[in-house]
C-alpha cells in the first residue's frame, strides 16, 4: 500500500488556508500532519526563496506548545536548523526572519476559538502569498517516520529587533505624561508592550491578564470587552487603552472614554502619521479612506492579508511609500519610511504595535486627543459581527440564495428599493441606498458568517448588523445573537 503524500495528508486532515494562515481544530494538527506542512513548506519554498534555517514561534494557546514540538521535530528530521522563539508576537517573528534571511513558522490561531489553532508561514521576504499556499497544498513528498524531540529553550533575543525597531524610531518622551492601559489577556506580546510603552515614558496600567486563553476578535468584540474598557478608562483615568488579538498582529485601541476604535480607522490614522501615499485594503474597509483625501491611491482587494500583500507589491513599484491594513486592524508596511529622522524598515505583514506608536506620535504633533482626531476623519461609520457555528457550505448556500432574491434583504432592513449588488469579490456586498451598505461573507478562519455594515452614523451601522444577523439566524434556525 502506497503511503499518503503531503498533499493527501493535509487534505485528509480538514485543515484549510483561510484569510491568514492554515487553520483547523487542535485535534487535526497531528504530528504526521504538521510534518506534512513542514515538508511541503521547505520543499516548495526553499528553492524559490533561498533559506536553510527556520525560526519558530507560538502564541499562548494551550495546544500551541505541542504543535510547535511537532513542527520543530519534523524540521529537525530534515536537517533544518530551528531557532525557537517561544511565545512572541507574529510580527516580531517575521521581522527576525526577514533580517536574517530565514523562513518562519508561527503556531497561532489568532482570534479563533480555543479548540482551534493554526500555522502562519513566512519566507525571508515576508508572509507567503496565495501562490505559495497553493504550492504547499500541492506538495507530493511522502513523509518518512521521525522521532519527536523536546522543544529547545526559547531564544529571547529573537524579539530584540522588533523592540529596537520601535524604540529607535520614536522619541524617548513619546508617551511622557500619558497613562496608558494595556489589556493583557493572553496576547503573545502582553509583556513586550508594557516594556516598550514604559521605555517611551508612559505610565502603564496592566489590566485583565489571564492564565486561561482568551480568543479576542478585534472585529467582533464582546459586550463585556466594551463595558470593561469604559470601566477601566474611568477607574484608572486612562488617556488610552491598548490591546491586541492572540498573536499580536491586530491592534485594539480605545480612546479616553473607553470607546474601542475600528481597525480601519486606526489604519487610516497610522497611514497619515507615517506619510503613506498609497494603500492596499480589503473591500470591507471604511470608505472614509477615499473621502478623506489623504492618499494618492486606495486599492481594494479580497479580504485576507495575502491579497493585501499582493496589491501592496504593485503599489511599492508606483509610489514612494505604500502600506496596507484590514478592517480588523494590523498595519502592513510595504516600503521603508522615515519618521522623526529615523528609518523604519518595511514589514509586509500585520503589526499591532506600529499603529499605536504612530498614532501617539500624530496626537503629540497635533496636540489633540484620540477622540478629537477620530472626529476629523470618521466620515463614514462601520460595524461588524458574526454568527458562530455556521459552516462555510451553509454560508455559501445562503449567499447564493440572497444573490437570486435580494428583495429578502430589502424587507429585513426596510429598504424602499431592491438592494444593488456592489461586489461578489468576497461574499456579497449590497448597497441598500445612497447611505447604507451591507456585506456578508463566510469567515476564512472559522465556521462563522460575518456581517459588515457601513452607514452615516455608528448607531445606524450597528443596528444594520444586528438586524441582518438576527434575520439570518432565524432563517438558519439558529439562536438570535444577543437574545
Contacts of 164 (CB under 8 A, 6+ apart): none
User: Strand 22-25 vs strand 179-185: parallel, antiparallel, or unpaired?
Assistant: unpaired
User: What is the strand order of the sheet 437-442 is part of?
Assistant: 381-388, 448-455, 437-442, 428-431, 420-423
The answer to whether 306 touches 127, Cβ cutoff 8 Å, is yes
CA dihedral 68, 73, 78, 84 (to 10 degrees): 50
> Phi-psi bin for 341: left (phi > 0), alpha (psi -120 to 50), beta?
left
Instruction: Locate the DSSP E strands across 352-393.
Output: 381-388
* Whether 361 is catalytic: no
CA 374 to chain centre: 21
Containing 169, the helix (H) or strand (E) segment is helix 160-169
CA nearest 8: which of 41, 44, 32?
32
Question: Is residue 35 within 8 Å of 144, Cβ to Cβ?
Answer: no
CB contact burial 385-404 (16+ within 10 A = b; e otherwise): bbbeebebebbeebbeebee
| Rounded Cα gap, residues 264 and 253, in angstroms | 12
Q: Which of 63, 110, 335, 395 is catalytic?
A: 110
- Which of the residues are catalytic? 110
Amino acid at each position: 500500500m502506497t503511503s499518503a503524500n503531503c498533499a493527501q495528508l493535509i487534505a485528509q486532515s480538514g485543515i484549510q488556508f483561510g484569510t491568514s494562515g492554515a487553520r483547523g481544530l487542535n485535534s487535526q494538527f497531528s504530528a504526521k500532519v504538521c510534518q506534512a506542512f513542514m515538508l511541503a513548506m521547505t520543499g516548495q519554498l526553499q528553492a524559490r526563496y533561498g533559506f536553510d534555517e527556520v525560526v519558530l514561534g507560538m502564541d499562548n494557546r494551550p495546544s500551541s506548545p505541542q504543535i510547535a514540538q511537532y513542527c520543530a521535530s519534523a524540521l529537525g528530521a530534515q536537517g533544518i536548523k530551528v531557532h525557537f522563539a517561544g511565545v512572541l508576537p507574529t510580527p516580531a517573528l517575521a521581522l527576525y526572519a526577514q533580517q536574517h534571511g530565514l523562513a518562519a513558522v508561527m503556531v497561532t490561531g489568532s482570534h479563533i476559538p480555543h479548540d482551534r489553532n493554526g500555522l502562519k508561514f513566512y519566507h525571508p521576504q515576508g508572509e507567503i502569498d496565495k501562490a505559495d499556499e497553493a504550492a504547499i497544498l500541492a506538495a507530493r513528498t511522502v513523509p518518512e517516520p521521525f522521532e519527536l524531540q523536546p522543544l529547545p529553550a526559547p531564544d529571547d533575543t529573537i524579539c530584540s529587533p522588533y523592540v529596537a525597531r520601535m524604540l529607535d524610531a520614536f522619541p524617548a518622551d513619546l508617551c511622557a505624561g500619558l497613562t496608558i492601559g494595556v489589556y493583557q489577556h493572553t496576547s503573545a506580546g502582553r509583556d513586550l508592550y508594557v516594556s516598550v510603552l514604559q521605555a517611551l515614558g508612559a505610565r502603564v496600567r496592566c489590566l485583565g491578564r489571564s492564565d486561561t486563553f482568551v480568543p479576542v476578535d478585534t472585529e467582533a468584540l464582546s459586550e463585556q470587552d466594551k463595558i470593561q474598557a469604559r470601566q477601566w478608562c474611568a477607574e484608572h483615568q486612562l488617556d488610552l487603552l491598548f490591546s491586541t488579538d492572540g498573536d499580536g498582529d491586530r491592534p485594539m485601541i480605545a480612546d479616553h472614554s473607553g470607546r474601542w476604535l475600528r481597525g480601519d480607522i486606526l489604519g487610516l490614522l497610522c497611514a497619515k502619521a507615517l506619510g503613506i501615499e498609497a494603500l492596499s485594503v480589503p473591500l470591507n474597509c471604511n470608505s472614509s479612506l477615499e473621502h478623506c483625501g489623504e492618499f494618492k491611491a486606495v486599492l481594494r482587494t479580497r479580504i485576507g492579508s495575502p491579497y493585501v500583500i499582493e496589491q501592496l507589491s504593485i503599489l511599492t513599484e508606483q509610489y514612494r511609500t505604500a502600506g496596507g491594513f484590514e478592517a480588523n486592524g494590523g498595519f502592513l508596511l510595504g516600503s521603508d519610511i522615515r519618521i522623526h529622522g529615523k528609518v523604519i524598515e518595511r514589514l509586509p505583514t500585520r503589526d499591532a504595535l506600529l499603529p499605536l506608536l504612530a498614532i501617539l506620535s500624530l496626537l503629540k504633533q497635533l496636540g489633540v486627543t484620540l477622540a478629537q482626531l477620530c472626529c476629523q476623519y470618521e466620515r463614514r461609520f462601520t460595524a461588524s459581527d458574526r454568527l458562530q457555528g455556521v459552516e462555510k457550505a451553509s454560508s455559501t448556500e445562503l449567499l447564493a440564495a440572497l444573490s437570486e432574491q435580494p428583495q429578502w434583504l430589502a424587507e429585513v432592513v426596510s429598504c424602499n428599493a431592491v438592494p444593488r449588488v456592489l461586489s461578489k469579490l468576497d461574499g456579497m456586498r449590497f448597497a441598500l441606498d445612497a447611505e447604507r451598505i451591507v456585506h456578508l461573507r463566510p469567515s476564512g478562519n472559522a465556521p462563522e458568517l460575518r456581517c459588515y455594515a457601513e452607514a452615516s452614523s455608528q448607531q445606524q451601522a450597528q443596528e444594520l448588523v444586528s438586524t441582518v444577523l438576527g434575520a439570518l439566524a432565524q432563517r438558519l434556525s439558529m439562536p438570535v445573537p444577543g437574545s
